[in-house]
Structure 1
Amino acid sequence: MNIKSLLLGSAAALAVVSGAQAADAVVAAEPEPMEYVRVCDAYGTGFFYIPGTETCLKVGGLLRFEKNYSKADNSKAYYEWHTRARIQIEAKNDSEWGTVYSWIRLQGDSYNNTVEDGAGGNRTRWWYYFGIGGLEFGRFDAPGTRFQGYGGRTDWGGYYGNDHNQQYISYTFNYDNFSAFVALENDLYNGVNYNYVNELDNVVLDQEKSDGGRTYMPNVSAGVKGSFGDYEVGAFVGYDESIESFNVRKWVRGDIGMFGFTLMGLYSDDARNEYFNYDGFSGILGLSAKVTDTVTVAKDIQWWDDDSWRVIGNVNWKVASGFSVLLEASYGDGKQVGDKVKTGMLRFQRSF
């Protein structure tokens, strides 16, 4: 056997061995395509598409710590600690009938380490609404209160209604710079009407006027507003069917450069009116100024025609993106407020 034959035989043997090893080799499967989360910019910032759908989702919330102070004339000062945690989820998608949307908020509050839920200490509450186009169903602050942009310029914002935390059906119509709404609101609470007198913070059910939930009629509210450059003008009317009472609100709001103002007038013909627990007229004047890119100051002044009044002022500092500090104080006097009442609040908040 010569050298050439030996080399050819060795090469053939190696080929056989290599082929046997190749037959036993594990071949990796091709990776399946991954669907990454896509940003949805159709409804503003923070939305993303739920993978595999055309529904846009937004998750947000806040954490809050507050130290509160309250002092009335001829009484001891009262100090309170308050913490809050909130999470909310919003979902939207398009349809031939308009935007289909839903909103859910879960919020927990703790006052002075009290652990019993619903007893003035810890409170866990849900709010929610959903709709399509301009039609909405839910349980939250009343449509009229949200439609008017709430109250003044401070966190407290003035006393402008009691129509919060309610079940409702509403329809909102938008055309160019104008919008209008109409709503039906459930006026029953634990099976009886919201027929009470608000005596400072003491709720007293009016048994004489309450129908015990036997009637089917809800409360009715409606409003209209329009934007004209830097200004907004609007009007609202709410009818409390249980006591056949009306509440009327009108407002003018403006934001011109670094300055802003809100002027609101309110009238109700019965102190038990659900929309505004007062028999008479009240006015709110709110002012605000953006002093720097991170600091805003605001003031609200409210007066009632029984000569009650209250002044609220605050300073809000946006320390960083998602973190702020708010210092707010108030002073007031009269039947609607209390006897020379002073309050103060320092808040630290993380929002996302």
Structure 2
Amino acid sequence: MNIKSLLLGSAAALAVVSGAQAADAVVAAEPEPMEYVRVCDAYGTGFFYIPGTETCLKVGGLLRFEKNYAKADNSAAAYEWHTRARIQIEAKNDSEWGTVYSWIRLQGDSYNNTADGAAGGNQTRWWYYFGIGGLEFGRFDAPGTRFQGYGGRTDWGGYYGNDHDQQYVSYTFNYDNFSAFVAIENDLYNGGNYAPNSQVDLYEINSKGKTVAVYGVNGREYMPNVSAGVKGAFGDYEVGAFVGYDESIESFNVRKWVRGDIGMFGFTLMGLYSDDARNEYFNYDGFSGILGLSAKVTDTVTVAKDIQWWDDDSWRVIGNVNWEVASGFSVLLEASYGDGKQVGDKVKTGMLRFQRSF
């Protein structure tokens, strides 16, 4: 065998071996592209896209500790510990009919270590609403209360209604600097405040001499309460009006307000009227007014005061100081004093709150 034949044979053998090894080689798959969470800035801060969708999600909540004090004239003082945990989730996406949105809140409260289910004890509650465009369905604070921006400037904010925690359907219309809403609200409590099997309605005469259905007994199963409102923004000021009709007692509540925020100062002036003390929207037969004032004295400290007066000469004044210690952590000190039938006999209250928000 000559040198040429030996070289050719060796090359052929190497080719066979190399081919066999190539057939058994493991080829690594290309890595799947990773989809990172993207910030969604279409609906404000805190939203991010749910991976693989065009829906934006926001998660938030708070933890709270409070020490409360209350004392009326000729009665013992009451001291209470209160803690709260809250988490809420909001989701939004666009559609040809407007924004599709939903909101869920889970909240737990504990009062003085009282056992779950006991009166004034631990409470766990859900609230929620959802909608598309201006149409909304839910169970939360009534649309009118939210539409007016709640009450005054303090945490208490004044006594302006009893229409919280309602099942409702509402429609809100926005145009330029103006908005309006109309809502129907379920007026039943724990399944009923009417007598569905009674053939004879029960009535009484209210303080105005008007014959009305007895609240908690009569009412119409198929008829909800109705409310509506309108407001407009004019530079630093907002002006609005609200009307609510409690069908169970055929009673109206009217509210009007002016609100302003000018630089470091703010004010709220609200007038309220109801023609029956059992009106769900405002439990008072007559007129009441709220004046709220606030000032941001530093970048982290805000002071506020609310004064409310009723036309039976009841009154209450409340003031607070709120300190934003750090981003997401605040301390609130609030105290009040009031007198009269709507408040109690020379009632003093105080509250110290520590809160973590996110």
TM-score, length basis structure 1: 0.90
How far residue 185 of structure 1 moved from its aligned partner, in angstroms, is: 0.8
CA contact (8 A) 1:195 1:272 kept: no
CA contact (8 A) 1:191 1:213 kept: no
Q: 1:291 to 1:6 in 2, by over 3 A?
A: farther
State the alpha-carbon separation in 2 of the partners of residues 243 and 333 from structure 1: 28
State the alpha-carbon separation in 2 of the partners of residues 45 and 182 from structure 1: 29
Q: 1:164 to 1:175 in 2, by over 3 A?
A: same
Q: 1:90 to 1:200 in 2, by over 3 A?
A: farther
Q: Secondary structure at the match of 2:9?
A: helix
How far residue 75 of structure 1 moved from its aligned partner, in angstroms, is: 1.3
Q: 1:84 to 1:196 in 2, by over 3 A?
A: farther
How far residue 39 of structure 1 moved from its aligned partner, in angstroms, is: 1.1
Q: 1:239 to 1:129 in 2, by over 3 A?
A: same
Deviations 1:296-320 (A, max 9, x none): 1100001111111111111111111
CA contact (8 A) 2:196 2:221 kept: no
Match of 1:301 in 2: 307
CA contact (8 A) 2:194 2:219 kept: no
How far residue 197 of structure 1 moved from its aligned partner, in angstroms, is: 24
Q: How many residues align?
A: 349
How far residue 191 of structure 1 moved from its aligned partner, in angstroms, is: 2.7
CA contact (8 A) 2:58 2:91 kept: yes
How far residue 215 of structure 1 moved from its aligned partner, in angstroms, is: 3.2
Q: 1:200 to 1:6 in 2, by over 3 A?
A: farther
How far residue 117 of structure 1 moved from its aligned partner, in angstroms, is: 2.9
State the alpha-carbon separation in 2 of the partners of residues 257 and 32 from structure 1: 53
Match of 2:6 in 1: 6
Q: 1:234 to 1:203 in 2, by over 3 A?
A: farther
Q: 1:77 to 1:95 in 2, by over 3 A?
A: same
Q: 1:111 to 1:205 in 2, by over 3 A?
A: farther
CA contact (8 A) 1:301 1:311 kept: yes
Alignment root-mean-square deviation, CA = 4.7
CA contact (8 A) 1:198 1:277 kept: no
How far residue 33 of structure 1 moved from its aligned partner, in angstroms, is: 1.3
Q: Secondary structure at the match of 2:158?
A: coil
State the alpha-carbon separation in 2 of the partners of residues 67 and 199 from structure 1: 51
Correspondent of 1:349 among 337, 344, 355:
355
State the alpha-carbon separation in 1 of the partners of residues 305 and 92 from structure 2: 36
Match of 1:338 in 2: 344
How far residue 23 of structure 1 moved from its aligned partner, in angstroms, is: 3.8
Correspondent of 1:223 among 226, 229, 239:
229
Q: 1:7 to 1:313 in 2, by over 3 A?
A: farther
CA contact (8 A) 1:251 1:263 kept: yes
How far residue 102 of structure 1 moved from its aligned partner, in angstroms, is: 0.8
CA contact (8 A) 2:219 2:248 kept: no
How far residue 95 of structure 1 moved from its aligned partner, in angstroms, is: 1.1
Q: 1:126 to 1:180 in 2, by over 3 A?
A: same
Q: 1:259 to 1:270 in 2, by over 3 A?
A: same
Q: 1:129 to 1:135 in 2, by over 3 A?
A: same
How far residue 51 of structure 1 moved from its aligned partner, in angstroms, is: 1.4
Q: 1:206 to 1:316 in 2, by over 3 A?
A: same
Q: 1:78 to 1:195 in 2, by over 3 A?
A: farther
Q: 1:4 to 1:200 in 2, by over 3 A?
A: farther
Q: 1:200 to 1:19 in 2, by over 3 A?
A: farther
CA contact (8 A) 2:194 2:220 kept: no
Q: 1:339 to 1:85 in 2, by over 3 A?
A: same
Q: Which moved more, 1:31-40 or 1:248-257?
A: 31-40
Match of 1:204 in 2: 204
CA contact (8 A) 1:196 1:206 kept: no
State the alpha-carbon separation in 1 of the partners of residues 203 and 155 from structure 2: 23
Q: Secondary structure at the match of 1:275?
A: coil
State the alpha-carbon separation in 2 of the partners of residues 217 and 229 from structure 1: 39
Q: Which moved more, 1:123-132 or 1:31-40?
A: 31-40
How far residue 6 of structure 1 moved from its aligned partner, in angstroms, is: 9.0
Q: Which moved more, 1:113-122 or 1:160-169?
A: 113-122
Q: Which moved more, 1:156-165 or 1:15-24?
A: 15-24
State the alpha-carbon separation in 2 of the partners of residues 138 and 131 from structure 1: 9
How far residue 25 of structure 1 moved from its aligned partner, in angstroms, is: 3.1
Deviations 1:56-91 (A, max 9, x none): 111111111111111111111111111111111111
Q: 1:343 to 1:122 in 2, by over 3 A?
A: same
CA contact (8 A) 1:264 1:284 kept: yes
Q: Secondary structure at the match of 2:197?
A: strand
Which consecutive residues of structure 1, in runs of 5 or more, have no partner in the other structure?
none
Match of 1:16 in 2: 16
Q: 1:331 to 1:199 in 2, by over 3 A?
A: farther
State the alpha-carbon separation in 2 of the partners of residues 231 and 279 from structure 1: 30
How far residue 115 of structure 1 moved from its aligned partner, in angstroms, is: 2.5
Pairing 1:279–2:291 present: no
Q: 1:203 to 1:214 in 2, by over 3 A?
A: closer
CA contact (8 A) 1:195 1:205 kept: no
Deviations 1:112-155 (A, max 9, x none): 11131363111011111111111111110000000000000000
TM-score, length basis structure 2: 0.89
How far residue 3 of structure 1 moved from its aligned partner, in angstroms, is: 10
Deviations 1:162-216 (A, max 9, x none): 00001111111111111111111111112323999999999999999xxx56431
CA contact (8 A) 1:182 1:221 kept: yes
State the alpha-carbon separation in 2 of the partners of residues 31 and 124 from structure 1: 46
Which consecutive residues of structure 2, in runs of 5 or more, have no partner in the other structure?
209-217
How far residue 11 of structure 1 moved from its aligned partner, in angstroms, is: 7.9
